[in-house]
Structure 1
Amino acid sequence: MIETYHIGTYWGARKEDAEECARRLVMVVQLLQPVDPLFASWFKSARSLKQSLTRPLELEVSSVQQYIQRYLMRDDRRQPMEDLGFSFGLWNGKQGENHAWLSIACGGYWEQVTNRCVLDAPNEGPGVERVLTEPFQVAALRALVTAWDPDWGAAISTAYRDMSKTQYLGAKVGWVTYFSRRLGRVPPLPAPVRIEPVEDQGTLVILTPERFTATNPEHVALADRVCELLERAGLLQRKPPPAK
């Protein structure tokens, strides 16, 4: 079975209108473009992939704002639920093994809401030798973090996430993990873990320079140890403070 990975960023209640979400979306697309050719273009959601190909994303805030506004959450009677924000997706237009998706929920300010920007890149096929590398994972997560200013984020092995999800109910530790400075300070961590700042927003924690896998006992032991240290530092708390 192929071990799958995804890159996700998450934040709590933060009221933002469609224009502000559009500015952030334009930024993340622009920041992802130089990371890899997979992200050269994006297409808006549609009823089918064929129809989606006729709807390229134009990187003008006003155009993106109109697109996002159509995806304001609504109740069963189609009445707007502004406190739940917007929920929509983008596709890179490539089918099969080179597909990539962005799934976004933003602008929600209900107390229990979780806003997110999740990137699903290929886990197999011709591009995987680029995707499943530490430089790619770091650059892609950094792009999402810079644009969305989340509480936390991770480039994570789904298998390791499932192994640890019942023990830590807040932020999840991945191959690369991000913590906003709002959550607190990242403590000293054992080698070969590396720490990198993201401007003045927060910190990236990079577990290994080689591909992290849940089938490698040394990787799992390292990740478990890092989880323990981050938990003691209060960074894996269940409910991070709201983003400012």
Structure 2
Amino acid sequence: MEVLFQQLGQCDEAYARWFEYAYSRKHALQLPFEPTYETFLRFFERRKYRLAREVFTFDAWTGQEQSGRGGMLNFVCGSNEPFYANGCLLHLPREEPAASRVLTVSVLKKVVRAMVLAWDPDGCAVIIEANRGEKKVRADDGPCLGWLMYVSERRGKVPPLPRSVRVEPMEDKGSLIILTPERFSLANPEHADLAGRVRERLEKAGLLPPSGG
């Protein structure tokens, strides 16, 4: 967790400060914390952050007032049980000026790298909110395809993709797939067609679950 928050703080000023999540803004603003190793040891000793003996959950807020939850991060870790799925979700900014700064390939690559360095996950994806329900992009029962997508080498090798799609190594752990240099949107027919072709190739390579059904 210390690695994750330190790395996010280097991605953009939106992630420079954090508060424990609370049900009111006023209460949350009274709960700032420094994201250090010692801080998280103290947090995880609290019953409120334990789902089971060695299963932890945590919600944090950046203190920015936004529609929705653009300044939130939540995760579950330490679980071996299917009903407590391990995962980390970072809500990206939707309002200006933070959205224009963060929703770029250059910054989001750093965000994905932060996730990879902290968790060494099997996969990670950047999903634009308006696209979340589209089966071409997202599958509810497994890894999802997003504007940017990280695939661990444990899952397999990324197959050849359309020439416009960039595939870059992510540290020594896996590959980062970048669908478009500009902000991805399924409302753009070219983007939708590209997403469908990429998903088909990744499904055939066994890196994504089938989108049918």
- TM-score, with structure 1 as normaliser: 0.78
The offset of 1:235, in angstroms, is 0.4
Larger RCO of the pair (alpha carbons < 8 Å, separation 6+): 1
Q: Which runs of 5+ in 2 are unaligned?
A: none
Which deviates further from its counterpart, 46-55 or 211-220?
Answer: 46-55
- Structure 1 residue ranges, 4+ long, deviating more than 4 angstroms after superposition: 165-168
Which residue in the other structure is 2:176 paired with?
A: 204
Matched, 1:182 2:154: yes
How much identity, in percent, do the aligned residues show?
Answer: 42
Residue from 210, 215, 230 that aligns with 2:202:
230
Residue from 128, 138, 150 that aligns with 2:121:
150
Q: Which runs of 5+ in 1 are unaligned?
A: 1-24, 74-80, 239-244
Alpha carbon RMSD of aligned pairs, Å?
2.1
Which residue in the other structure is 2:101 paired with?
A: 130
| Number of aligned residue pairs | 206
Q: In the aligned structure 1, how far is the partner of 2:187 from the partner of 2:70?
A: 25
Residue from 110, 134, 139 that aligns with 1:139:
110
- TM-score, with structure 2 as normaliser: 0.88
Task: Go from structure 1 to structure 2 and tell me whether the alpha carbon gap of 1:115 and 1:58 turns closer, same or farther (over 3 Å shift).
Answer: same
Secondary structure of the corresponding residue to residue 209 of structure 1: coil
Aligned residue runs from structure 1 range 94-173, under 5 A: 94-96=64-66, 100-111=71-82, 113-164=84-135, 168=139, 169-173=141-145
Contact 2:19–2:61 (8 Å) recurs in 1: yes
Task: Go from structure 1 to structure 2 and tell me whether the alpha carbon gap of 1:107 and 1:95 turns closer, same or farther (over 3 Å shift).
Answer: same
Which letter does structure 1 place at the counterpart of 2:62?
A: N
Q: In the aligned structure 1, how far is the partner of 2:17 from the partner of 2:97?
A: 18
Q: In the aligned structure 1, how far is the partner of 2:28 from the partner of 2:92?
A: 18
Residue from 28, 49, 59 that aligns with 1:52:
28
Matched, 1:33 2:9: yes
Contact 2:159–2:202 (8 Å) recurs in 1: yes
Q: In the aligned structure 1, how far is the partner of 2:121 from the partner of 2:142?
A: 13
Task: Go from structure 1 to structure 2 and tell me whether the alpha carbon gap of 1:68 and 1:48 turns closer, same or farther (over 3 Å shift).
Answer: farther
Which deviates further from its counterpart, 191-200 or 110-119?
Answer: 110-119
